[in-house]
Structures are given as C-alpha cells and as structure tokens.
Amino acid sequence: MSMTTTNDLIAERPAKHRFGGGDLIGLGVILALAVIGYFLFPNNLALLTRIIAIALLVLSLDLVTGYCGVATLGHAALFGAGAYAAGIVSAHYGINDPIAMLAFGIVAGAIAGLICGAVILRAHGLPQLVLSIALIHLFHEFANKASSWTGGSDGLSGIAPSALIGLYEFDLWGRTAYVFGVVLLVLVFFILRLIVRSPFGMLCRAIKEDPIRIRSMGASPKAALMKMYIISGAVAGVGGALNAISTQVVGLDSLSFTMSAESLVMLVLGGTGSLFGALTGTIVFMFFEDVVSAANPFHWLTMVGALLIAVVLFAPKGLFGTAAAFVARRREAK
C-alpha cells in the first residue's frame, strides 16, 4: 500500500465521517424490516429477537475481523460473557431491571474483549486462530465448572427481568423483547457507523492493510486494535445480554465454538468490512436455516452448505458486498 493511500485512510475529510443519505436510507430499511417482521411474524417474534442478538455478535466480529483483519474463531466468548453477566446479576442478586442487566452485559463483554484481545493480538495469522479456539474452549469449560453460578450444563435459569422502564412487561409473545432489541440494534448500528468512519476507524483499516507502515508513522497498531477489541466486546455483550433477557435462560451454547464459527460464516456470507453486510449475512443465514430445517429436518445442513458454496464461488465479496459493487458499476456506466 502506498504512503498516500495509507495517509488518506487515516485522514479522510471530516465530512465523510458523518452520516450521509445512504446511511439514513440504510437505517430506514432496518426499521422498515423490523416493522414488517413485527406484523408478518407476530407468533415468531422470539426468532426475530434471536436474530437481532446474533446480528449484534456478527457486527462485533466485523469490527475486529472485517475492519482490523484479526483472525478469530472464538468471538462467542464475548457474547457468552455478556449473557452470563446479565443472567447472573438477575438470578443470584435480584437485579432485574433490563437496563441494569444490559449494563452488566456490556461491561462483561468489554472485559472479555480485553482479555481475548490481550492474548490473540500477541500472534498473527493462523496462530491467532489457534489462540482464539483455545480461548473459547477455556471460557466454555470455566462456565461449565462454575455450575454454582452458571448452572453448568443445565443452564442458568431463574432470570426474571422486570418491566422495561416500569411499563412494558416481557410477555410470553416476546413483543417487548423484540422492540427492545430493535431499539438496541439501531442505537448500536448508529454508534458503530460513526466509529468506523472516524479517524480511529480509518486507522484500524489502515492497520489491516499495512501495519508496518503505520508503525513507522509513529502510531501503535496493537493499542488501536486493543481499543477496537474492547469496543467489539461491548457490542457482543449487548447481544448476549439481550439474549439472556429475552429467553430468560443462558446455556453453554452461548459460549460454544459452533456459535463462533457460525458467526464468521454469517459475516462472510454478507460481506466483511461492512456493517450492512454483517446484518445481511445474519438475516439471510438464520432465516434460510430456519426455513430449510423445518422443510427437511434430516438434510437441511446439505442445503445450507450448498448456499455457502454458491455464495463463496459466485459472490466472493458476500451478498451485500457483491450487490453494492454491482450498483456502483451501474452508476459509473451511466
């Protein structure tokens, strides 16, 4: 990467850091889809809330993998930390206010991000993957052994969130949890969009392209990546806390290697280095998985595998990335 290009990545004009018309349209699309989902699937709001929680995990993964180039297969550790923190303060300490539970989840996710970042960032490339896999297994085993706090393999139950702002109960239909999740998703997306377009976000992208040149310019790649890992942990903690609040139970699956791998698959499916891509990949993957598993309970994994192979071969930039590139080429042709 040339010096000019690196400098441009770090020091883009301030006007580019603000929300533009395309961003507002994107947020409008998110809200429109949320409203459509509410009325189209009134009896399946639990699935939609689950999709939002996982979308927050995939967004957090995109921050460190898509924007920073950090290889990880253990990102569910951050999600699970947020879920268990929110669940433990409710089940063991009687802190049932959803906002307070969310705050504990954010803090726990950020701390887990700090721990994972401190370990993973000591290596590069494939060794990072090995360290991340080791970390997710350690987190999983710790939660399993600390059964007096986490419920072990039986899961953590007894989570009873109180009414949101004292008015809206978390009912059996999941309406409050869904609306709460949509609001969280929009707020998080808005904040992340500002972060990735800020000078700090541009620095992280430049580190992904050429860390040696960034170091020679006097910046510290590791310090920047650690900050992004902590932010990523906080975002994953939001998703974990939302999952604990909405389902009122936390299991070891929230700390599983399978969840980490699937979140990476969703990110690649939608397109790395794009917040809209992360959302697209999560929605498509989880809806497709739900539909085909119901249609064919025995061979649904084959169909999911065929979808992933087709996307990787024919849309290497992911669904959203390929669509965005196609639209850009059409505009240039005009």
Q: In whole angstroms, give the CA distance from residue 81 to residue 133.
A: 16
Average pLDDT over residues 137-157: 94
Average pLDDT over residues 30-50: 91
At 178 the pLDDT is 96
Confidence of residue 16 (pLDDT cuts 50, 70, 90): very low
pLDDT tens track for 106-126: 999 999 999 999 999 999 888
Q: What is the DSSP string of 96-109?
A: --HHHHHHHHHHHH
Q: Where are the alpha helices (DSSP H) in the chain?
A: 3-10, 21-40, 45-61, 76-91, 98-120, 126-145, 147-150, 175-197, 199-209, 211-216, 221-247, 257-270, 275-295, 300-314, 318-333
Strand partners, 168: 164
Average pLDDT over residues 46-69: 96
Query: Among 1-15, 58-72, 139-153, 178-192, where is mean pLDDT lowest?
Result: 1-15
For 156, list phi and psi in degrees, rounded to 5. Answer: -95, 115
Average pLDDT over residues 86-102: 95
Query: Among 70-74, 173-177, 223-227, 303-307, where is mean pLDDT lowest?
Result: 303-307
Q: In whole angstroms, give the CA distance from residue 331 to residue 334.
A: 5
Q: In whole angstroms, give the CA distance from residue 310 to residue 313.
A: 5
Average pLDDT over residues 57-85: 95
At 264 the pLDDT is 94
At 19 the pLDDT is 56
Q: Is the pLDDT of residue 79 over 90?
A: yes
> What whole-number percentage of the chain has pLDDT above 70?
93
> What whole-number percentage of the chain has pLDDT above 90?
65
Of 35, 52, 49, 44, the C-alpha closest to 177 is 49
Query: Among 141-150, 157-166, 213-222, where is mean pLDDT lowest?
Result: 213-222
At 21 the pLDDT is 56
At 304 the pLDDT is 84
Listed in sequence order, the residues at least 6 apart from 301 whose beta carbon sits closer than 8 Å to its beta carbon are none
Query: Among 51-60, 62-71, 82-91, 286-295, where is mean pLDDT lowest?
Result: 286-295
Query: Which residue's structure tokens are 């976000």?
Result: 201
Q: In whole angstroms, give the CA distance from residue 196 to residue 277.
A: 14
Q: Is the pLDDT of residue 1 over 50?
A: no
Q: In whole angstroms, give the CA distance from residue 216 to residue 119.
A: 24
Average pLDDT over residues 55-59: 97
Mean pLDDT of all residues belonging to the chain? 89
Average pLDDT over residues 169-176: 88
Q: In whole angstroms, give the CA distance from residue 247 to residue 170.
A: 10
At 20 the pLDDT is 60
At 172 the pLDDT is 83
